[in-house]
């Protein structure tokens, strides 16, 4: 495999949140089809990065696989992780300002979410190729505290285990003036979908071919 792969949480395709996010970001990550976005000035530009990575919460961040690791081995590992984690209720989500970005965040802590992320980081790491020097430099360009830098070296990503946090990115970093426009717009856009309860019932594998957007490739049911 030459594509990068990531372990994500994403809502079910029948969930109104899936449809609301596809419209907000302008792309359905299952079909790859574009979706007409809300009529908000410059929304295509401020959602471009999030559209590329697809609507998700990162569990095991995008990685290249070691030479010799094939799709069957990846599926076997993902199934083993999913078999160790039972399905669980997702806490209510809300639009939040996250270091200048807009994202959906959980409104109450979830040990179950943390356990799922931890299991993905540790359980799939034997498949991961080390990051390149360029990838390390990109992660370090704004500086990292020692604990996060140690995570980067060991796990290929700064935000794992104690430094991990659930978020589903909706925009690039915004100015104060932009946030005054887009945060209430996002809250309104997602209000109906976020009012509904939802469960985390599977682990999603997303793939990225060279230079392409991330696509949903497989859903592995949680059966623990």
Tell me: the pLDDT tens digits for 1-31?
678 999 999 999 999 999 999 999 999 999 9
pLDDT for residue 132: 86
Which segments of the chain does DSSP mark as H helices, in order?
16-25, 43-46, 48-53, 71-82, 111-123, 133-140, 146-155, 176-194
Q: pLDDT band at residue 91, thresholds of 50, 70 and 90?
A: very high
Q: What are phi and psi of 57, to 5 degrees?
A: -120, 130
Determine what percent of the chain is predicted with pLDDT higher than 90.
92
Residues whose CB is less than 8 angstroms from the CB of residue 12 and which lie 6 or more positions away in sequence, other chains included: 18, 198, 201, 202
Q: Report the number of distinct structural domains present in the chain.
A: 1
Q: Is the pLDDT of residue 93 over 80?
A: yes
User: Domain containing 57: what range?
Assistant: 4-221
Question: What percent helix, strand, coil does the chain show, rounded to 5?
Answer: 40, 25, 40
Determine what percent of the chain is predicted with pLDDT higher than 70.
100
- Three-class SS state of 200: strand
Q: pLDDT per residue over 149-205, tens digit each?
A: 999 999 999 999 999 999 999 999 999 999 999 999 999 999 999 999 999 999 999
pLDDT for residue 113: 98
Q: Is the pLDDT of residue 136 over 90?
A: no
CA 100 to each of CA 84, 113, 115: distance values in angstroms, whole numbers, following the listed order = 35, 23, 27
Does residue 215 contact residue 32 with C-beta atoms inside 8 Å? yes
107: domain CATH number? Answer: 3.90.1140.10
pLDDT for residue 177: 97
Q: pLDDT per residue over 121-133, tens digit each?
A: 999 999 999 988 8
CA 224 to each of CA 88, 116, 161, 219: distance values in angstroms, whole numbers, following the listed order = 10, 11, 20, 15
């Amino acid at each position: 495999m030459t594509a990068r792969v990531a372990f994500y949480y994403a809502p079910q395709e029948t969930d109104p949140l899936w449809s609301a996010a596809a419209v907000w970001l302008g792309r359905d990550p299952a079909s790859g089809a574009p979706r007409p976005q809300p009529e908000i000035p410059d929304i295509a530009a401020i959602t471009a990065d999030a559209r590329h990575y697809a609507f998700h919460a990162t569990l095991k961040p995008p990685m290249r696989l070691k030479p010799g690791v094939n799709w069957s081995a990846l599926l076997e590992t993902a199934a083993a992780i999913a078999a160790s984690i039972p399905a669980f209720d997702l806490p209510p989500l809300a639009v939040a300002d996250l270091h200048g970005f807009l994202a959906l965040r959980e409104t109450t802590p979830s040990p179950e979410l943390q356990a799922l992320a931890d299991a993905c980081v540790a359980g799939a790491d034997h498949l991961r190729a080390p990051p390149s020097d360029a990838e390390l430099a990109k992660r370090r360009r704004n500086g990292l505290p020692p604990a996060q830098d140690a995570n980067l070296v060991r796990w290929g990503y700064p935000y794992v285990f104690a430094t991990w946090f659930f978020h589903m990115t909706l925009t690039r970093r915004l100015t104060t003036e932009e946030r005054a426009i887009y945060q209430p717009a996002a809250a309104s856009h997602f209000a109906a979908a976020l009012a509904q309860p939802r469960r985390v019932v599977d682990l999603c594998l997303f793939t990225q071919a060279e230079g392409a957007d991330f696509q949903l490739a497989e859903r592995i049911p949680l059966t623990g």
